Amino acid sequence: MSNMKLMTWSEHFETGVDAIDIQHRKLIDLINAAAPMLSEPGEVAARAVQPLLDSLADYAVNHFRMEEALMVRHGIDSRYTVYHHGVHVGFTEEVAAMRREALGNGNVGGHNLLRFLISWLSFHILAEDQQVARQFRAIAGGASAKQAYEAIDRSDTAAITALTDAMIDMFSLLTERNQNLATANRQLHDAQAELLATNQNLEARVAERTRELEDERMALLAASERIEQTQEQLLQSEKMSAVGQLAAGVAHEINNPIGFVISNLGALTGYVEQLMTLIAAYEAMEARLPTDHPDRATMFAARETAELDFLRQDIPDLLRDSNDGLSRVKRIVGDLKDFSHIDEGEWSFVDLNKNLESTLNVVWNEIKYKAEVIRELGELPLVNCLPAQINQVLMNLLVNAGHAIETRGSITLRSGVEGKKVWIQIVDTGKGMTVEVQRRIFEPFYTTKPVGKGTGLGLSITWDIVERHGGKIEVDSKPGHGSSFRLTLPIERPAASRPA
């Protein structure tokens, strides 16, 4: 609305007198600046219209003084000079009256002031000042002042009045429509802003819901992976339990006939000793026979045939070796029983050094061809734990140590006490691990072994068992320099694992 002009300067407004045209341009600029405010319905506040009235008053003083001086200088007929001066006085008085009204009432009728200004401007520029300019030109062309005055054409006054009224009505209508458009534009802008805000809110909600769905999907995926890992660990635990049961059953079945054999071997050893004593008695009797006695030759031949001297030396060796072998079998059977602990599913106090030795005997076949075992074991107090699970941890660590040695090396077993905790350390001279591998070795299903050689669950299960016991397991390794696994367990059962 502020860009719309009520009047635009054109050649029709020009009088040909530069000083007058310059003043007319200023008046048009004042009216155009105030027109939007004055065309609004209702009264206009005095503080809003006062600057316009002040400018009009200043304009009237300067313009009218300059214009009347020009009329005197060009010798305009006095009748017209008096008339034109009266027009100037009327304008000045009207502006003064409006200033008084504004000061007295606090406001002024905008339409009335606008109609007055346009009407006066139209008559003044299009009629009266044009008449002044024509008189200037007529006098300059040789006409007298009287001739120039009487030649004035006043027939276009009614047309100017009608044109002025139509222009004011049209401007008011355009102003109203412009205001309506501005209102509609503001409403459209507000609606667009609201739509934008709604769209942004909707986008934010969609994005938030998408994140929630993604989080839920990731949670479900993680839960699925945990379930799969748990199932695999349970399966592995079931396998270990089955192996333990099988080992315990085999150990039990072997233990009975081993007992028979050991018992019988002990009796056989006694019988052999008795037989050797009897043979010695016969040999003593043989020595007392005459040298030419025929039985001496018979007995000598029988002794040589039986290789009695060899048997006297070899039979004790055979019995001793057999007894040692049976003792080893019996110890292995005992270690199998200790390792499985089928009947020990509850917490109990055990000597972890003995558990380590028992487990070592069970997995000895995985180690004996590759590594020398070095023992640096300290004296340990009894530790409250689940023996079968701790044996599984020790077995996993020992087997991994054996597998890490590719040709020949050593495995060092250490143990000790630190405050209220015990520790067991298994150090190998194998190929070692990179830092990246060390970060992942306790992850379920992670393995560096060839396909089919490992499940990737051994150390994962080891980690879980150690955590359930309130302990920790640490690894230190460098490629080409072997690995060290240090297991630390509390001596007393952790409070979190105690029954409520």
CATH number of the domain that 487 lies in? 3.30.565.10
Q: pLDDT-derived band of residue 342, with 50, 70 and 90 as boundaries?
A: very low
**352 vs 303: CA distance, rounded Å:** 56
* pLDDT per residue as tens digits for the range 178-204: 667 778 888 888 888 888 888 888 888
Last residue of one domain, picked from the residues 125, 154, 183? 154
Amino acid 451: pLDDT: 46
426 alpha-carbon distance from chain centroid: 40
Q: Tell whether 61 is covered by a domain.
A: yes
Note whether residue 477 is domain-resident: yes
- Structural domain ending residue among the three candidates 110, 137, 154: 154
* pLDDT attached to residue 361: 87
pLDDT score of 1: 44
Say if residue 315's pLDDT is above 60.
Answer: yes
Q: Using only the alpha carbons of the chain, give its radius of gyration.
A: 62
pLDDT band at 270 (very low <50, low <70, confident <90, very high): confident
The total of structural domains in the chain comes to: 2
Dist CA 263 CA 258 (whole Å)? 8
Domain assignment of residue 478, yes or no = yes
Name the helix (H) or strand (E) containing 427.
strand 421-428
Report pLDDT for 251: 61
Residue 403 corresponds to which tokens in the numbers above?
């597998």
**471 falls within a domain:** yes
Q: What is the dihedral of CA 80, 83, 89, 91, to 10 degrees?
A: -100
d(CA 473, CA 462): 9
Strands 472-477 and 421-428: unpaired
User: Token digits for 133?
Assistant: 């300019």
> How much is the average pLDDT of 232-244?
54
CB neighbour class for 357 (10 Å; exposed up to 12, middle 13-18, buried from 19): middle
pLDDT band at 52 (very low <50, low <70, confident <90, very high): confident
Predicted pLDDT of residue 497: 63
Please list, residue by residue across 369-379, b when 16 or more beta carbons sit within 10 angstroms of its beta carbon and e when fewer do: ebbeeeeeeee
DSSP 364-416: HHHHTTTEEEEEEEPP---EEE-HHHHHHHHHHHHHHHHHH-SSSEEEEEEEE
Stretch 274-283: mean pLDDT, rounded?
A: 83
Report yes or no: 112 and 172 within 8 Å, Cβ to Cβ.
no
- Percent pLDDT > 70 in the chain is 79
pLDDT at 434: 87
The whole-number average pLDDT for the span 359-371 is: 86
Indicate whether 88 belongs to any domain. Answer: yes
Domain that holds residue 35: 12-154
3-state DSSP assignment of residue 69: helix
Helix 308-340 crosses helix 294-306 at what angle (to 10 degrees)? 30
Q: Nearest Cα to 472, choosing from 447, 444, 442, 451? A: 442
Q: Using CA atoms, how far apart are residues 214 and 381, in angstroms rounded to an integer? A: 51
Residue range 434-492, pLDDT digits in tens: 888 888 877 766 566 654 455 556 677 888 889 889 999 999 999 988 999 999 999 99
Q: Is the pLDDT of residue 310 over 80?
A: yes
Asked if the model's pLDDT at residue 230 lies above 70, the reply is no
Residue 72 lies in a domain: yes
CATH number for the domain spanning 84: value is 1.20.120.50
Query: What is the rounded average pLDDT of the residues 78-88?
Result: 87
Res. 33: pLDDT tops 90: no
- Judged against a pLDDT cut of 50, whether residue 266 lies above it is answered with yes
406 close to 428: Cβ distance less than 8 angstroms: no
For 7-22, the pLDDT digits (tens) are 777 777 788 888 888 8
- Please state, rounded to an integer, the average pLDDT across all residues of the chain: 79
Structure tokens that stand for 109 in this block: 């009728």
Average pLDDT score over residue span 34-54: 77
Two tokens at 178? 């412009």
Q: Residue 420, SS3?
A: coil
Given this model, what pLDDT does residue 130 score? Answer: 84
The verdict on residue 262 lying in a domain is no
Q: What is the mean pLDDT of residues 107-130?
A: 76
pLDDT at 303 over 50: yes
* pLDDT > 80? residue 151: yes
Last residue of a domain, one of 132, 154, 176: 154
What distance in Å separates the CA atoms of residue 398 and residue 335, rounded to the nearest whole number? Answer: 15
pTM, whole model, 2 decimals?
0.41
Query: Quick one: which of 283, 374, 352, 275 has its CA closest to 315?
Result: 275
pLDDT digits (tens, 9 = 90+) for 406-447: 888 999 999 999 999 999 999 999 988 888 888 887 776 656
Is residue 381 included in any domain, yes or no? yes
Q: How far is Cα of residue 9 from the mean position of the Cα atoms in its chain? A: 67
Residue 224 has pLDDT above 50, yes or no: yes
Q: What is the pLDDT of residue 354?
A: 92
